[in-house]
Structure formats: C-alpha cells, structure tokens
Amino acid sequence: MGRPELYPIKKVIGFDEKMLEAIEKWRAKQKPIPTVSDAIRLLVKTALAHPPMAPGKPHKGAAKAKDMARTVLNERMKDLPDDERVTRKGRLLKGPLR
C-alpha cells in the first residue's frame, strides 16, 4: 500500500496566457522554485488569507486621488461654460459604476 495522497481532490481550471505568464514570473522568483501546482496553491492560499476590502469602502488614497483629479480637471476645463464643466466633472469624479 502506497502513502496517502497529499492533495486528493483534483479540479480542472482554465487560464489564459496572461495569467500563466504571471504565475511563471512569480514562480521564478521563489526559492526553491515550486511546481506550477504548488505555485497556484500558494497564490490561492495567500489571497484567501487577506480578506477583500468591504464594498463601498474607499481606498486610503482615494480622497487624495480625487482632489488631484479635481485640480487637473479644473485646469483642463477652464475654457468650458460653467454648466458644461460641472456636468463633465461630476461624471468623471463620480467614479466607475458598480
């Protein structure tokens, strides 16, 4: 009787070229270099150990980034009529739709 399998549950998952290249780059920086399977397991384990940010909670630098964007927009839109400038700035500073 052989030794018990370390990872008995198998899953087939798909990757695109960009993802595989990123995994390969990450693997190459590790000492010792893990197998592709071990690398994917380590990356998943690391991601699961760090809970995602709460939805709607802005990043620490969000306020500063918004102020910087407002400054740039004010400069670039200074020649527009007031109502057009307000409309465009509002759309740009509102951020992406969720």
Report the alpha-carbon distance of residue 54 to residue 27 in Å, rounded.
30
Question: What pLDDT score does 13 carry?
Answer: 93
Report the alpha-carbon distance of residue 10 to residue 44 in Å, rounded.
15
What domain range is 25 assigned to?
A: 17-49
pLDDT in tens, 12-49: 999 999 999 999 999 999 999 999 999 999 999 999 99
Q: Is residue 26 part of a domain?
A: yes
Q: Is residue 11 part of a domain?
A: no
State if pTM tops 0.85: no
Q: How many domains does the chain have?
A: 2
Average pLDDT over residues 75-92: 82
